Amino acid sequence: MGSCDHHHSGDSAGESESCGSLHHHGLTSAGQFDTVSDARLLWSVLLNQFLTVAQVIAGIFSGSVALLSDAAHNFSDANSLLIAYIARRIARKEANQRYTFGYRRAELIGATINLTLLAVVGCYLIYEAIHRFFDPQPIIGWLMAAAAGIALVVDLGTALLLWAMSKGSLNVRAAFIHNLVDAAGSVAVLIGAAAVIYLDWLWVDAFLTLLIASYILYQVWQMLPEATRILMEGAPANFKLDEMIADLNKIEGVSGIHHVHLWELDESHRALEAHVVIEPTRYEDLEPIKRLIKTYLINEHNIRHSTLEFEFAATSDCHDADGNLIHGNCP
């Protein structure tokens, strides 16, 4: 992937494309983010930094560990949103000779960093909650409630700013989930403040912290594997590769498929490379077969970037590097 010329399909010789034409195949990231202004992310960063400072001050004076924990979470959110903003800026860069697929995976790297930070915060909150169960501290309920109310307004405002952007980006969706968790946590802290004020239930503070932390770790468990799979160039989740190969073998003129590699460039772009064995035929018949395969890949599996190398059955290599039989037409 490091060279400028990229063999996009065709026969074994391929069809060379210059770096300047890469964007025609959707390999650049610019354009998919332009529908929503990144100013929303910057406003979200500022809002969460303001909230962090306010919650730390209120948490110290009120004695609420739930409030301090939520402040730590919001500080993580502010950093996550900043990472999301930087990642989106990088992902907009055009493909070039060094990165011929563009920079679209920068968002996935940002998502992985965000989710890892979220996991650390979740573990920390669980530690603090368990500690407070055994060592409850005095809490000023009204200050706890006031800070939670401000936090709820900021969290909902941030989530509203990010909602439209979260639909097409795992990176922004991770940040969006951060703020939904924050909003739910703020509601929980409000309820806890009421319990402290009217019932003097100090244990509620630790209990709510434990609930918030558990939900945070659950969200990480749901999203981190997806980001990791794409970065590891794994096939799309639940993709039935054997069925796709069987369908390709049914195309007229195709007698075998081998060396199949399928991966995702990002959440919405798939790529495939494969060797296609065809029956001995005229060279001019190769193009219609290639067109049938590419049409099938696009229509049935949304694979719009495919690199195909064609071999005639009588002359194709029958064994791989380990001596294993590659396809059924070999003796």
Express as a percent the part of the chain with pLDDT over 70: 76
Is 145 exposed, middle or buried, given 0-12, 13-18 or 19+ CB atoms closer than 10 A? buried
How many whole angstroms separate alpha carbon 118 and alpha carbon 77? Answer: 8
87, 174 in Cβ contact below 8 A? no
Of the pLDDT bands very low, low, confident and very high (cuts 50, 70, 90), residue 318 is low
Tokens of 193: 């403040």
Q: Strands 16-17, 270-278: parallel, antiparallel or unpaired by DSSP?
A: unpaired
How many whole angstroms separate alpha carbon 219 and alpha carbon 200? Answer: 32
How many whole angstroms separate alpha carbon 44 and alpha carbon 156? Answer: 11
- 247 versus 38: the higher-pLDDT residue is 247
Looking at residue 299, its pLDDT comes to 93
Looking at residue 70, its pLDDT comes to 72
Q: Is the model's pTM score more than 0.85?
A: no
Beta-bridge partner residues of 256: 277
Provide the 3-class DSSP secondary structure of residue 103: coil
Tokens of 217: 């770790």
Mean pLDDT estimate for the chain: 75
Tokens of 156: 């909902």
Rounded to 5 degrees, what are φ and ψ at 151? Answer: -60, -40
Beta-bridge partner residues of 319: 325
Express as a percent the part of the chain with pLDDT over 90: 11
Domain ranges of the chain: 31-231, 241-312
Looking at residue 329, its pLDDT comes to 47
Residue 34 CB: number of other CB atoms within 10 A?
9
Tokens of 273: 């490379």
Contact residues for 218 (Cβ-Cβ < 8 A; gap 6+):
none
Exposure string over 52-64, b if 16+ CB within 10 A, otherwise e: bebbbebbeebbb
Cα 201 to Cα 68, 82, 136, 196, 261, distances in angstroms = 18, 37, 10, 5, 58
Tell me: domain 241-312, CATH 3.30.70.1350, correct? yes
Of the pLDDT bands very low, low, confident and very high (cuts 50, 70, 90), residue 230 is confident
Kindly state the average pLDDT of the residues 161-167.
67
Looking at residue 81, its pLDDT comes to 72
Q: Does 241-312 match 31-231 at the fold level?
A: no
Tokens of 110: 């940002």
Instruction: Walk across the sheet containing 270-278 and list its strands.
Output: 254-264, 270-278, 305-312
Residue 42 has pLDDT above 70, yes or no: yes
140, 59 in Cβ contact below 8 A? no
Q: What is the pLDDT of residues 54-113, one digit of tens each?
A: 888 887 887 777 777 777 767 766 776 777 677 777 777 888 888 877 787 777 787 788
- 74 versus 251: the higher-pLDDT residue is 251
Looking at residue 76, its pLDDT comes to 67
- Topology of the domain comprising 31-231: Alpha-lytic protease prodomain-like (1.20.1510)
- 162 versus 208: the higher-pLDDT residue is 208
